[in-house]
Amino acid sequence: MIDPSTSFPIQWDASRRNFLAGAVTTASVAGIASAALAQTAPAHLRFMNPAGIATPHGYSHVVEVTGPGRTVYIAGQLGFDAGGKVAGGPDDFRAQAAQVFENLKIALAAVGADFRHVVKLNSYLIDIAAHIPILREVRDGYISKESPPASTTIQISKLARPDALLEIEAVAVLGG
């Protein structure tokens, strides 16, 4: 396949595609795959929470991508505005979380996407116990409740910027 914007052949990552296909096939054969959640997501994306795994709040266990399309990787976003100033102040987690999602929204819009196209979020928090309830509340104002992305949240000791309390990176998939 040729990417018209570059005229270079696109190299599909066969190992990831094969892994995903194998995982979906294995789940189906084992009888634990469930129907996709009711969704407003684009047709090439299927968000699932298979039977046999606890149903999560605010994210999906499995996101399947089918057909041609573009995958967009968004670098970790911090709670800093366009001028590089920390949102709300150095200890205002809610303001930083809201700024992170605004930054992600801007990055997604730059490639013609929105939060419906996000299939994976990785969140890094300085204090997971204190901040995860606030993160969930802020995140729920941005992501689709019908088709929430797969998500991982971990606690780390510090981030690249001393005032940063969280960082979130995203992967989005857009149709062909």
**What is the Cα–Cα distance from 147 to 63, expressed in whole angstroms?**
9
User: Taking the complete model, does pTM exceed 0.75, yes or no?
Assistant: no
Q: How many CA atoms lie within 13 A of 153 on its CB side?
A: 18
**Domain ranges in the chain?**
2-65, 69-175
Q: What is the pLDDT of residue 75?
A: 93
Q: For the chain, give the secondary structure using H, E and C.
A: CEECCCCEECCCCHHHHHHHHHHHHHHHHCCCCCCCCCCCCCCCEEEECCCCCCCCCCCCCEEEECCCEEEEEEEEECCECCCCCECCCCCCHHHHHHHHHHHHHHHHHHCCCCHHHEEEEEEEECCHHHHHHHHHHHHHCCCCCCCCCEEEEEECCCCCCCCCCEEEEEEEEEEC
- CATH entry 3.30.1330.40 includes domain 69-175: yes
**Residue 63 corresponds to which tokens in the numbers above?**
């996101």
Q: What is the pLDDT of residue 53?
A: 81
Q: What is the pLDDT of residue 18?
A: 47
* pLDDT per residue as tens, the chain (176 positions): 444 444 434 444 444 444 444 444 444 433 333 333 343 778 888 888 888 888 888 888 888 888 888 889 999 999 999 999 999 987 999 999 999 999 999 999 999 999 999 999 999 999 999 999 999 999 999 998 888 999 999 999 999 999 999 999 999 999 86
Q: What is the pLDDT of residue 38?
A: 40
